[in-house]
């Protein structure tokens, strides 16, 4: 019985410690305040095999889905290979795909469409 109480205490302390670490990690991802008149674009440039692109997109999508930072993800193709293009074209990413030449058009067109709608 004594070992069961010790085990329960250890599990409780470890669980509390892990919860505190998780909360601290969440606080480090500081929300960026935005309002109706501002919008945040996160541009990820990728070239070659785009190693690490999937992990980067997963992380940014998690931040956005958690409601931490409302943003539009943009993947800019700066000479990606076939593997990188295949990764970006997967439907699991809610991201805009463009080339460096089209990067300015994305923000300009979006702002123009919203002002015309008002």
Please write the tens of the pLDDT for every residue from 22-52: 888 777 766 666 666 777 888 999 888 878 8
* More confident of the two residues 81 and 69: 81
Residue 90's region, left for phi above 0, alpha for psi from -120 to 50, else beta, is beta
pTM of the model: 0.62
- Is residue 27 helix, strand or coil? helix
Residue 95's region, left for phi above 0, alpha for psi from -120 to 50, else beta, is beta
Q: Is 2 in contact with 32 (CB distance < 8 Å)?
A: no
Give the model confidence (pLDDT) of 45-77 as tens digits.
Answer: 988 887 888 899 888 888 888 777 778 889 999
Is residue 99 over pLDDT 70? yes
d(CA 4, CA 15): 16
pLDDT class for 11, splitting at 50, 70, 90?
A: very high
pLDDT score recorded for residue 3: 85
């Amino acid at each position: 019985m004594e070992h069961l109480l010790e085990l329960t205490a250890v599990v409780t302390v470890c669980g509390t410690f892990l919860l505190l670490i998780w909360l601290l990690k969440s606080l480090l991802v500081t929300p960026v305040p935005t309002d109706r008149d501002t919008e945040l674009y996160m541009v990820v440039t990728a070239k070659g095999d785009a190693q690490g692109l999937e992990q980067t997109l997963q992380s940014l999508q998690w931040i956005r889905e958690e409601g931490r930072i409302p943003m539009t993800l943009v993947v800019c193709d700066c000479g990606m290979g076939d593997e990188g293009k295949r990764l970006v074209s997967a439907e699991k990413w809610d991201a805009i795909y463009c080339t460096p030449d089209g990067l300015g058009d994305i923000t300009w067109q979006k702002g123009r469409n919203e002002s015309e709608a008002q």
